[in-house]
Amino acid sequence: MPTVNREASIMLAVMEPNPADPALHLPGPLASYGDAIPAYLRHAYSWAYLDPRTLRWLDRPAVVSAILWGNANRLMRDAVAEFVPGQRVLQAACVYGGFSALLAQRLGAHGALDVVDVAALQVANARRKLAGFRQAKIWQADLSVSGCVAADAYDGVCCFFLLHEVPEAERCRIVDNLLAAVRPGGRIVFVDYHRPRGWHPLRPVMSMVFRSFEPYAQSLFAAAIESRSARSAGFEWTKTTCFGGLYQKLVGTRRG
């Protein structure tokens, strides 16, 4: 089992992108990958995920921790704890910070971690951060496209703070594709924002953040995540919230 110190050192080690790192220099200009990038991502999140200049500032522990109001470590550890060593797990989209390294470490040398992201820059950055983990593979694909990942192929699927960043139509397709990837008896874990309770002191601040920077986030709260796919009927669901309801963890276990 990893110790807390080992986790902390891995998080620090993987978090500082070096602009001179060849892995961050894509073969050809970023625009040549533009066709693969969904329109919503280009319009709303170019600054966050498609620009190497901001990546090197955003992909830092202090920034990730600040964005999640000091809850990043707890949310990452709670998600990772849902999986066990030796499993084959799909991580839906890259995440800034040490999340993928923690997950790879949790699965261990006998496990397998597949990370899929639609942005070439993020794929290159994740490859750099996971270079020391032979159990990890990262590739580029759009998770909202049917057949993007193999069906019934994974013991576990982890979707960490992706759904609030995609429009409803793509969100439904992503949830459906991810549920399809879970083998019978396997588990899917969604960690994301949740509508905070009425008394939450950060509610007005978060409303402003969502309005200004996260144009699709509020639509996530309109319905339960699992209601986005008819496949959810084949799963047992458990939802927990924390930090005054601002964050949710939804765990589905596939029957059979």
Ligand X SMILES: C[S@@+](CC[C@H](N)C(=O)[O-])C[C@H]1O[C@@H](n2cnc3c(N)ncnc32)[C@H](O)[C@@H]1O
The structure tokens listed for 110 are: 């006998």
Residue 253 CB partners (closer than 8 Å, separation 6+): 185, 186, 187, 235, 236
For 33, half-sphere exposure in the C-beta direction (CA atoms, 13 angstrom radius) is 24
Measured from the CB of residue 185, what is the shortest distance to ligand X in angstroms? 26
Closest to ligand X by CB, 177 or 232: 177
Pseudo-torsion of CA 94, 96, 97, 101, nearest 10°? Answer: 10
Closest to ligand X by CB, 114 or 165: 165
Interface residue list for ligand X (CB under 6 A): 38, 41, 49, 64, 93-97, 117-119, 122, 142-144, 161-162, 165-166, 170
Closest to ligand X by CB, 77 or 108: 77
- Return the closest-CA partner of residue 10 out of 134, 129, 137: 129
